[in-house]
Every structure is written in structure tokens, then in C-alpha cells.
Amino acid sequence: MKFTGSHILSITQFKREQIDQLFAVADRMEPYAHRRKVTRVLDGAILGSMFFEPSTRTRVSFGCAFNLLGGEVRETTGFESSAIAKGESLYDTARVLSGYSDVIVMRHPTSGSVAEFASASRVPVINGGDGSNEHPSQALLDLYTIRKELKHKGRAGIDGLRIAMIGDLKYGRTVHSLCKLLSLFQNVHLTLISPDELRMPADIVESLRAGGNTVVESDAMESSISHVDIAYSTRIQEERFSSKEEASLYRGRYRLNQAIYTRFCEPNTVIMHPLPRDSRVEANELDNDLNENPNLAIFRQADNGVLVRMALFALILDVADEVDRHARDVNWYTERRF
């Protein structure tokens, strides 16, 4: 895949060269994401942001990423504020909105819908999450975070990574995309921890194994997180179940807190979660008592989303080498704690 003009629909489009290219550009976006500089490289460009499911991080960070590059954002949130509610097809919506935008990011509750939309779009479309299928930009920012966190601990590279994924692996699109991305690497050891009914889809497990990686499936968390570099927790995807009652059978099954972390994890294990974490008492998969744990990377992970999404826009719109030429220092107070 070449980035320029491409849709980003699935993580399977990527090879390692593109990941390296993307991450190198993301590294260069740090002065902008951290508000030391502004660039107007996308001055006049318009992002169409269409989110037909709730979102905080993906919607806002894509929007901020585009703004930080100097572009403007036009948003549609929810079916009720779109003519789709009047029966308009994805085809017609794509034909119309791609006439108004230079690039579109879309989230939709149905698997495959973003690809269907993209096939009618006249501009590149980025999948912001389609049902339980995929969330490619989340996987990219997750891998970027893993790489950065490990580097901080003195370790280079993803090959040989030991990662546990915990929770709803059946409906969790972030872990689907992350597994597909990790299958590009070697000697990765994955421990997939879920209730039997919520196991990772078999085709994803098979393709990991076919690539020479090790996959162990378990329904027990404590005994499975002792020797991992990354403990990646996920939420029970309540919105994908046939009823709230069915989802509640699994909510709260796996709860990682400081006491469990101290007892079972290696002292350097990095804790990740795509967020939102479900902090309601009946779920609480990642307890607030981990908030001061320096290995809790969840907010650094969310911050990295801006860098990676800026890099995606810069590469898709072919301005990655122009960003600094349109830059200046900011003139407002920007001190922030990281």
C-alpha cells in the first residue's frame, strides 16, 4: 500500500515498512501535538467526521489531529442528525459528503459498512471502527505506544513481545486489529484471556499461529499475567450483545487492580486499555487505584492517538515532508504535565 490517496479500512493493508514509515512521521508530530508549534500545512482542507456510534477519543483526536495540521473539521454525530435517518443509503451519503471533504473518517455500528461507504467515496476514508470488525487507527496507536513504552524501559522492537489481552475478545474490534497487526512481527507470545463464549475469533488466532507466533488461550486472568510485557485490558462490549442482561453475565469477570498487579505481574509490566474503561462498580475492569502506577499507560496511549492520526493525515494527503515548512512557534501558554 502507498499512503497517498488510500483508504485506511483494515490493518491487513499494512506491512512493516508502512508501520515504520507511519511511526517515523508520528514521532515528528510531537512538537505540534504537544503545542510547542503550530503548522498550517493543511490550511483550507476539510475533514468530514462521521460518527454513527458514541466516541470520545477517536472522534475528538482525529478532529484535533486535523486541526493541528491546519485543516477544518465538519462533524456528523449519530444517525438522527444525518439523512441516513430518512432512508438515504451509504452510497448516496458517500457520494455527497466526499464532494464536501478532502478526507473522511467514519465510525458505524455495522461490520463492513465503512468499506461499503469508501467504495462510493471520491476521497480517502479512514475506518474509525466498524461494528466488532476492526479499528485500525487504534491498533496503530496501540503498537506505537507499546514500542514507546518498551523503548523507555530499554528494549527495542516488537519481535519477541509478550502480551496478554484480557476481556471481550469476541466483540472487541481494537484487539482484533491489534492481533492482525502483531501478526506482522516474529516470536510474539500472546495470552488471550476471556470467558469461553467471548474468545478471539478463530481465524485471527489461526493467522497469528500461521505466522509463527505463540497463542495461549485461557479463561483465568491472575495465573496468566505473570510473565508479560503488556497487560491489555478491554471492556465488555455491551452494545454488541443481544441484551444488557447477557452482557452483565461477563461484566466484572476480570478486574485488574493494584493488589492483583503487585501480586501477579512483573514490576515493569505495562498496563494498557483502548478506553473507555467501564468504571461502574459492576465492571471496573481497570481499577482507579492503578492511576498512580507509573506503568499505567492508558492516558499516554490516548495522547499518542493524536500523533498517529496526524501522521495518517499527513501521509494520506501527501504533506508529511511539508509540515515543518508551514510551522511557527505557538504564542500562548502551553505548559502541561505529562
- 135 vs 147, which CB is nearer to ligand CP? 135
Residue 310 corresponds to which cell in the numbers above? 496526524
| Active-site option among 7, 37, 58, 253 | 58
In sequence order, the 6+-apart residues with CB closer than 8 A to the CB of 253 are 167, 195, 236
Our finding on whether 55 is near ligand CP (CB under 6 A) is yes
* Residues 6 or more apart in contact with residue 22 via CB below 8 angstroms: 3, 140, 308, 311, 312, 315
Out of 89, 276, 291, 334, the residue judged to bind ligand CP by CB under 6 A: 276
Catalytic annotation on 277? no
Closest CB 309 distance from ligand CP, rounded Å: 11
| Residues in 122-151 at the binding interface with ligand CP, rule: CB under 6 A | 129, 135, 138
- The residue (of 57 and 95) whose beta carbon lies closer to ligand CP is 57
Give 3-state DSSP helix, strand, coil % of the chain, rounded to 5: 40, 15, 45
Q: Is the peptide bond before 276 cis (omega within 30 degrees of 0)?
A: yes
Greatest extent of the chain over all pairs of C-alpha atoms, in Å:
56
Cβ proximity to ligand CP, 56 vs 223, nearer residue:
56
Question: Does 56 help bind ligand CP (rule: CB under 6 A)?
Answer: yes
Does position 111 interact with ligand CP (CB under 6 A)? The reply is no
234 CB-side CA count, 13 A: 27
Is 58 in the active site?
yes
Residue 58 interacting with ligand CP (CB under 6 A): yes
| In the complex, least distance from residue 114 CB atom to ligand CP, rounded to whole angstroms | 14
Q: What residues contact 59, with CB distance under 8 A and at least 6 apart? A: 49, 51, 75, 77, 107, 128
Q: Which residues bind ligand CP (CB under 6 A)?
A: 55-59, 129, 135, 138, 274-276
Residues acting as catalytic residues? 57-58, 86, 107, 135
